[in-house]
Amino acid sequence: MHQNIGFQLSRVPRLWRAVIDRRLAPLGLTQTRWITLYHLWRLGDGQPQCDLARAIGVEAPSLVRTLDQLSEQGLIERRGCEQDRRTKRIFLTPEATPLLEQIDAVVNQARSEMLAGLDDAEVAQLASLLSRIEENGLAIQAHEDTE
């Protein structure tokens, strides 16, 4: 059983995103775009571009194309940072709000369906266990980066 846990840990997020992707496709949203918008909404306006990339789990240069597309759609704005002119901060536009509300409804419904059959205590325990596994992984990375 322990041998399959790594495969399960990689399959579940892909499945979770696939369910949401399928439901958001009619809105013309790719996974990259909805994840970027959703993270920015959850983190709050004015995130530095590099912090947003880190939160999403991509390299900052990889995020640039997506931000360009979202900007062209009128969903975000990039503004310079007063403290550091090299930094761009990302802001949602008012046009993004109705779309984000739709994304949020889809994400909440998918979460509810994916966690069906688990009670609140089990969900809390799952979250705690996943956090521990993530912390272990980060510690391994940090240790290996110093070698």
What CATH number does residue 86 fall under?
1.10.10.10
140 and 106 in one domain?
A: no
Structural domain boundaries enclosing 132: 119-147
134 and 87 in one domain?
A: no
Per-residue tokens: 131: 């956090």
Per-residue tokens: 33: 């775009």
Q: How confident is the model at residue 147 (pLDDT cuts 50, 70, 90)?
A: confident
pLDDT tens-digit series, residues 9-61: 999 999 999 999 999 999 988 899 999 999 999 999 888 888 899 999 898 88
CB-CB contact of 37 with 75 (8 Å) = yes
Which residue is it, tokens 């958001």? 24
Domain-located, residue 10: no
126 and 67 in one domain?
A: no
Which of 92, 65, 63, 66 is closest to 78 using CA atoms? 92
Based on the structure, what is the number of domains in the chain? Answer: 2
Q: How confident is the model at residue 1 (pLDDT cuts 50, 70, 90)?
A: low
Q: Is 120 exposed, middle or buried (0-12, 13-18, 19+ CB in 10 A)?
A: exposed
Domain-located, residue 30: yes
State pTM to two decimals: 0.81
